[in-house]
Amino acid sequence: MAPKRIAMQIPEKVSFRSIGILLFIAAVAKPLVKILSFSTNLIVRLFGFDPNASQKLVTEEEIRMLVDVGGERGVIEEVQKEMINNIFEFDDIDVSDIMTHRTNIFAVEANDPMEDLIKIAKEEGYSRIPVFDDDPDNIIGIVYVKDLLKFIGNDMPEENTLRSIMRKAYYIPETKRCGELLKEMTTSHVQMAVVVDEYGGTAGLVTLEDLLEAIVGNIQDEYDNEAEEISKIDENTFTVDGITDIDEVEELFGIHIPEGEYDTLAGFVISLLGFLPQDQDMNVVEHENLRFTVLKVEERRIEKIKVEILPPAKNESKNDDARD
């Protein structure tokens, strides 16, 4: 151990002094190395393999392991570790997992006057707004607010509707992988894509920002609503948006939610209740060590849910009653 520690303290000096010895050993061992390499390649060929075929020097699992070790030793920060893992998972994520669902899309009618959209853009801070024709499920284009700037303070054109200035919508299936979509959007210079379901209807919207957030985490800009999806009231009580992803709920509360026809906490609560609650009902349901209370319902959607972590004593008594 002592020679190793000394060499680590003065690596350059030790390297220069050792180079002659190392070159001598390499020259002596060279014939033996050639014989071993030849015999190994011969055996590989006998089994029908090409010894010169390229091999992956490092696998994904090995990189993940190195990242975990780096995180444990403090070389890699937690944020960096999460970002690297997100990059590996990115190609396996469907756009349906990160899109804004159609029920949460703000869209305007194609025949609306431009003045109305200018007012909306000022009030809401949107930079791109979907345009539908007759039915919100039929999105036909996207209006870029910057295309309206030239009309502010000037006379409006003769055809004063959003249809005249909207850009063609970019449609994608909800099964498209995020990695593939990111390449398409950056190549085509597209900022927003319309996600369609198997029946051709609008399933949701996905933006370039959504794709980047799947890798680096939430990107907060000056126009974003800073209200959090999950708010902590006290040590055991939280208010959670109904649209919060199931995976996020599982990770935060350390529970297992069975697979089903739902992607959000609201969908899971509805599946437990067996019906869609009304706003005034304050419906309560429990799962594992959590109690869910529906706080707010708007337009047949659960907006807010109170989540309470139940004390262990209550869980144990319930288990005892079940055994009895």
List, in order, residues 6 or more apart from 312 with CB less than 8 Å away: 289
Structure tokens of 9? Answer: 């303290």
* pLDDT score for 140: 93
* pLDDT score for 69: 86
* pLDDT score for 120: 81
List, in order, residues 6 or more apart from 293 with CB less than 8 Å away: 282, 283, 284, 305, 306, 308
Q: Using the 8-state DSSP alphabet, how is residue 264 labeled?
A: B
Handedness of CA 83, 85, 90, 93 (dihedral sign): negative
| Domain 230-323 top-level CATH class | alpha beta
Residue 262 β-bridge partners: none
Structure tokens of 240? Answer: 């959670």
* pLDDT score for 121: 78
Residue pair 101/243 in contact by the 8 Å Cβ criterion: yes
Q: How many CB atoms lie within 10 A of CB 196?
A: 19
Integer CA distances (angstroms), 80 to 10, 196, 281, in order: 32, 33, 44
From 3.40.50.11610, 1.10.1200.10, 3.10.580.10, 3.40.50.300, which CATH number describes the 95-216 domain? 3.10.580.10
Handedness of CA 145, 147, 153, 155 (dihedral sign): negative
Per-residue pLDDT of the chain (324 residues; tens, 9 = 90+): 566 667 667 777 777 788 888 888 888 888 988 898 888 888 878 888 777 765 556 777 888 888 888 888 888 888 888 888 888 888 888 998 889 888 888 898 988 888 888 788 777 778 889 999 988 889 999 999 888 887 776 776 667 788 888 999 999 999 999 999 999 999 999 999 999 988 888 999 999 989 998 888 766 555 555 456 788 888 889 999 888 888 888 888 888 888 888 888 989 998 888 888 876 666 888 988 899 998 888 877 888 889 999 887 544 554 445 445
* pLDDT score for 323: 47
- In which residue are the tokens 């979509």 written? 181
Residue pair 105/205 in contact by the 8 Å Cβ criterion: yes
pTM of the model: 0.61
* pLDDT score for 4: 66
List the domain boundaries for the chain. Answer: 2-46, 95-216, 230-323
User: What is the crossing angle of helices 178-188 and 208-216, to 10°?
Assistant: 130
